[in-house]
């Protein structure tokens, strides 16, 4: 659309990073100097991020990532938006780029066969196929593929313990999917590790399937980890599958409970939203920590004096007094 001057980029790349903390600092500085906002994880096993920015800033960011030989094959899922999808930039160094507890698995060495959206669409309804959602329960309750097997897990790190419940599917073709593809890299590899023979993954996840295959047979909305919270995927046969947490009517309107001590993230219809003043129950409605409700159910986190340069200090480069160089205050 003409007024959508921003882009939202979703990506990951499994690649060895010898000094994640040093690269985190470099990456952080590039983002703040190019007005990129979002959440990025840097690990010894690679990168994982969702960021937003003006189209030209995002193009510069993608070029920056791909200019590094370690990340040159990174694939970006690109969506348009009318503004930033994040309030700030947050780049962190962590043990894994998605928390799974499967540190022994390297998707560059072993993982399920990648299926492009068109191939996934052609294969998903065959009799010998099982479609497996590897996301958390709050995600797949909002939206999922028709006939998909959905696991009762609060976090992806719970996935390995649930695999024993899938033993009866060992003779099936198992098609895994998630939001952008990253969880499937290790989920499908772990299935292979546990003796499953025919394992696939939806390359690029739900997001790419919506962009390239129209999202057919994805029921409901897709939960995303930015300020949009939930997005439409299916342009062909859309449905609503989630229910209002309070009254049980069909609703895909995701909100946070107005009681900051509860803050549960659930679907609440517009009518119940106003009746309960953004709270999820009478108890939360009367709670002293209930926040004012403006009809959105979205509450910006307190930035606590957020400064994107926190952790760095300016130090003039004696050899090159201009421009300024940034160095870690901890070094």
* 214: alpha, beta or left? (left if phi > 0; alpha if psi -120 to 50): left
Pairing between β-strand 230-231 and β-strand 222-223 as defined by DSSP bridges: antiparallel
Q: Which residues pair with 77 in a beta bridge?
A: 10
Compute the distance between CA of residue 301 and CA of residue 90 in angstroms, rounded to an integer.
Answer: 13
- What is the enclosing helix (H) or strand (E) of 79? strand 77-81
199: which 2 tokens?
A: 């394992």
206 close to 135: Cβ distance less than 8 angstroms? no
Compute the distance between CA of residue 300 and CA of residue 195 in angstroms, rounded to an integer.
Answer: 45
As annotated, the active-site residues are 178
Q: How far is CA 227 from the centre of its chain?
A: 11
198 close to 172: Cβ distance less than 8 angstroms? yes
Q: Among candidates 31, 34, 35, which has minimal Cα distance to 91?
A: 31
Give the three-class secondary structure for 49.
strand
24: which 2 tokens?
A: 């985190």
CA distances from 57 to 66, 124, 225, 228 (A): 14, 37, 20, 20
Sign of CA dihedral 170, 174, 176, 182: positive
Compute the distance between CA of residue 315 and CA of residue 321 in angstroms, rounded to an integer.
Answer: 9
**Angle, in degrees to the nearest 10, between helices 20-33 and 55-66:** 150
CA dihedral 311, 15, 224, 211 (to 10 degrees): 140
């Amino acid at each position: 659309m003409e007024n959508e001057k921003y882009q939202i980029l979703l990506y990951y790349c499994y690649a060895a990073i010898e000094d994640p903390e040093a690269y985190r600092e470099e990456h952080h500085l590039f983002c703040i100097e190019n007005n990129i906002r979002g959440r990025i994880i840097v690990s010894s096993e690679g990168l994982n991020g969702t960021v937003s920015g003006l189209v030209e800033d995002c193009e510069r960011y993608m070029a920056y990532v791909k200019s590094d030989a370690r990340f040159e094959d990174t694939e970006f899922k690109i969506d348009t938006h009318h503004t930033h999808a994040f309030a700030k930039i947050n780049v962190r160094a962590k043990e894994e780029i998605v928390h799974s507890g499967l540190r022994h698995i390297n998707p560059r060495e072993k993982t399920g066969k990648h299926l492009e959206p068109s191939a996934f669409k052609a294969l998903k309804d065959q009799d010998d196929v099982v479609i497996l959602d590897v996301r958390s329960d709050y995600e797949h309750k909002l939206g999922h593929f028709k006939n998909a097997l959905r696991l009762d897990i609060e976090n992806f790190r719970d996935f390995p313990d649930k695999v024993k419940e899938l033993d009866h599917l060992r003779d099936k073709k198992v098609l895994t999917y998630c939001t952008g593809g990253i969880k499937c890299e290790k989920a499908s590899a772990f299935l292979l590790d546990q003796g499953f023979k025919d394992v696939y993954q939806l390359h690029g996840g739900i997001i790419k399937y919506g962009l390239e295959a129209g999202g057919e047979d994805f029921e409901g909305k897709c939960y995303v980890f930015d300020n949009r919270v939930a997005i439409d995927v299916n342009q062909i046969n859309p449905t609503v599958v989630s229910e209002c947490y309070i009254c049980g009517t069909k609703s895909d309107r995701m909100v946070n409970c107005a009681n900051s001590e509860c803050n549960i993230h659930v679907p609440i219809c517009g009518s119940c939203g106003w009746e309960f003043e953004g709270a999820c129950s009478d108890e939360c409605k009367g709670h002293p920590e209930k926040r004012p409700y403006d009809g959105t159910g979205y509450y910006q986190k307190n930035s606590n004096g957020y400064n994107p340069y926190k952790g760095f200090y300016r130090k003039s480069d004696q050899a090159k007094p201009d421009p300024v160089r940034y160095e870690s205050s901890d070094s």
